[in-house]
Amino acid sequence: MASRLNKKAAFQQLRSVTNSMAMNKASIIVDATRYIEELKQKVEGLNTELGASESSTSQNELPMVKVETLERGFFINVFSERNCPSMLVAILETFEELGLDVLDARVSCEDTFQLEAVGGEVPSSPTKTWLWIGGIFSCGRFRR
């Protein structure tokens, strides 16, 4: 008896998931099969779309970063072919974590991303700081 109720409940769930209006079991199974095929086609389409977008952006994944030591501070120039909305926030958060003061900055992030910043004196060893700055661009901190 419990087995029969379980089967009936399972068919009702299947019917509701597939939005089937059928009442008999055979029709519910046919509708479920069609629904599964539709889902497979959607997955294939999304995978194709994802593959196309990955291949077009794979060469320009990481931004170009140029860091120069100034007499009393640093200059950093960051350029990326693609604009990533969280990139500026990630860079500024990293500056803050490192204790770097940005004295002047210019940012453009319409189609591409470009940041030019001049900072004050570096509080710790410059080599360590430059490694940390470079690390934010290689670790994917600002990826979509």
pLDDT means over runs of 10, the chain (144 residues):
84 86 88 90 87 61 80 85 78 81 88 87 60 54 45
CB–CB of 74/68 below 8 Å?
A: yes
* pLDDT for the residue 41: 92
Instruction: For residue 10, give Cα distances in angstroms to 22, 29, 82, 115, 128.
Output: 14, 11, 48, 57, 60
* pLDDT for the residue 143: 44
Q: Identify residue 143 by its one-letter amino acid code.
A: R
* pLDDT for the residue 37: 92
Q: How much is the pTM?
A: 0.47
Q: Which of 81, 122, 82 is nearest to 101 (CA)?
A: 122
Indicate the CATH number of 61-138 among 3.30.70.100, 3.20.20.70, 3.30.70.260, 2.60.40.1180.
Answer: 3.30.70.260
* pLDDT for the residue 116: 93
* pLDDT for the residue 131: 58
User: What are the domain boundaries of the chain?
Assistant: 2-56, 61-138
Look up tokens 């597939």; give the residue: 18
